[in-house]
Amino acid sequence: MKKAITTPNRFTTFIPSWWAKAHLFLLTAFLFSCEEDLNLLGFRGDDQRFKVYYAEIPVPSSVLLLDSVRSMNYTSVETNRLLVGSYTDPLMGEVQARAFTQLRAADITTFVPVGSVFDSAILQLRFDFYNYGAPSITPLELSVHEITEPLPLENLYFSKSEATYNPTPIGTFATTIDQELFDKQLTTTDTLIVAKIKLDQSFGQRLYDYINPEDENFSNFNLFKNRFKGLAIVPTVSEKVVGISNNSNTFLTLYYHTGETTGSRTFLLTGISFSNITSDRSSTDLGGLTNYNEEFFPPVNRYVQSGVGIATKLDFSGFYELIDQYPNVIINSAELAIENVAEPGDFKYPSLALVMLDENNRFKKLKTEQDTTDYLAFQNKLLIGTLISNDALSAPYMISDATNLLGLSYSSDNNKFSAFPTLFFQQLYALREKRYANWALTALTPTSTKTVNRAVFSKDNIKLKVYYTRPNTEN
């Protein structure tokens, strides 16, 4: 009798092992047979299907004089400032700023005590420490005048706006401006430096006599402003433009007494308030810059100046010419740079930003359904804001990486302005069927409508630097 022999089921244990090896064999064979396809996915070997390229694209430019730079103090959330003073810039000429403001009674319900006697009128102006112009300590002399024409509340007021005023001043003031002190205090709020100007006695008496809560001509501002039209603050001696706070510790006070008791009434500098900013460029390379929104081509430099409204127009057509050569491109990175910029010296540079222009070299505004469609096509890579526009929430701005306004800040370490708007240029490529080539390079910070900062740079040093990937046509 034979002993039974039990044999393991080698067939059943072999099945999964065989299939695994078969799958590995087939996959290996497939991959080797598709070596050409691998190059479509990566950069294996010398025979690369894609390659990274670098292009430095010159950016043609011109200078624009922008129309309607809104200098009025418009909303409570923006910088409320009046500019006064003047300074001379050898490259951009003389800049002068004058302030115009209405008066409004802080209290329209309380009577002045019977038998009281007017004493004096004092105009207090608080410096907000903004200053631009000659360094060190310089003189500042101001004169105050009565405005002689109505300032309608429904109007908008710009840096080119002005109002007629009586040439005979009702007050004068002289002081000095210490640039070093003002610069140190610019970012603080706990220091108070004011100018106190004693106004003409007859003007003060007229204003005092007008206080009557029962008279609508006093209590109704729309009527009051037609009788007392406001004040003009004009520099007579100056080497700087300085800022005056229009909403803090700036007011006109009437002082009176009743027997042995003294009292006062306050008038705020509110309603319409704006700065008139003029520039005499006749002796500079910008002497021919006279027409609004018309391209001007100085021979060497390009210019940006706040307040006055001078901007540099940039033309990105070269970017489109580059990408038009190839049907498929990936924008890896982009840098917009202005190189070899001279040190600012006495004139601090603002940071710069780009604003979309329309075909008439005006800021692109969202007026039609197509405008809105164009704006939305940038998928949050533009931001709506006011900048130098006279209309609130109107002008699209370019922003970098969907987080910040595209600010080209000046670096003293390498003497250049630069920013990295990679996502923006990726979107320009994605929207290449419709061209967005023209942009205004203008001042961004400090606030461009309430300052006079400027920047000057060579037209040949504006470059767009792009790294991009495209199919390697050399294979």
Q: Render pLDDT for 409-432 as a digit per residue (tens, 0 to 9).
A: 899 999 999 998 888 888 888 888
328 sits in which H/E element: none
Same domain, residue pair 263 and 313: no
pLDDT at 454 over 90: yes
DSSP state, 20?
A: H
Q: Report yes or no on 23 lying in a domain.
A: no
Q: Report yes or no on 25 lying in a domain.
A: no
Higher-pLDDT residue of 205, 246: 205
pLDDT at 72 over 50: yes
Same domain, residue pair 112 and 254: yes
Q: Report yes or no on 30 lying in a domain.
A: no
Residue 212: pLDDT band with limits 50, 70, 90:
very high
End position of a domain, from candidates 247, 279, 311: 279
d(CA 426, CA 141): 53
Q: What are phi and psi of 26, to 5 degrees?
A: -65, -40
d(CA 177, CA 198): 20
> Which residues pair with residue 55 across a beta bridge?
466
Question: What total of structural domains would you count in the chain?
Answer: 2
Range with the lowest mean pLDDT among 160-164, 252-256, 272-276, 400-404? 400-404
Tell which residue, 169, 161, 435, has the closest CA to residue 307: 161
Residue 325: pLDDT band with limits 50, 70, 90:
confident
pLDDT at 31 over 70: no
User: CA dist 431 to 150, 311, 371, 395, Å?
Assistant: 49, 26, 14, 19
d(CA 37, CA 193): 74
Q: What percent of the chain has pLDDT over 70?
A: 81
Same domain, residue pair 161 and 268: yes
pLDDT at 12 over 90: no
Residue 14: pLDDT band with limits 50, 70, 90:
very low
Give the residue numbers spanning the domain of 188. 81-279
Tell which residue, 204, 274, 224, 222, has the closest CA to residue 246: 274
Same domain, residue pair 359 and 329: yes
- CA angle, 281 then 236 then 176, to 5°: 105
For the beta carbon of residue 208, count every other beta carbon within 10 angstroms: 19
Residue 382: pLDDT band with limits 50, 70, 90:
low
Q: Report yes or no on 43 lying in a domain.
A: no
pLDDT at 4 over 50: no
Q: Per-residue pLDDT tens for 36-54?
A: 333 344 445 555 678 999 9
Q: What is the mean pLDDT of residues 392-413?
A: 60
Same domain, residue pair 116 and 262: yes
Q: Are 207 and 105 in contact (CB under 8 A)?
A: no
Same domain, residue pair 250 and 319: no
d(CA 60, CA 464): 11
Q: Report yes or no on 176 lying in a domain.
A: yes
Token pair 């061209």 in the structure block, residue: 435
Residue 55: pLDDT band with limits 50, 70, 90:
very high
Q: Are 64 and 295 in contact (CB under 8 A)?
A: yes
For the beta carbon of residue 118, count every other beta carbon within 10 angstroms: 19
Q: Are 102 and 270 in contact (CB under 8 A)?
A: yes
Same domain, residue pair 188 and 121: yes
Residue 328: pLDDT band with limits 50, 70, 90:
confident
pLDDT at 393 over 50: no
Same domain, residue pair 57 and 169: no
Q: What are phi and psi of 390, to 5 degrees?
A: -80, -15
Q: Could you give the 3-state DSSP secondary structure of residue 52?
A: strand
pLDDT at 37: 38
pTM to 2 decimals? 0.83
Quote the tokens at residue 17: 């092992």
Same domain, residue pair 352 and 425: yes
d(CA 420, CA 337): 9
End position of a domain, from candidates 279, 312, 345: 279
pLDDT at 367: 72
End position of a domain, from candidates 214, 245, 279: 279
Same domain, residue pair 310 and 259: no
DSSP state, 343?
A: P
Average pLDDT of the chain is 84
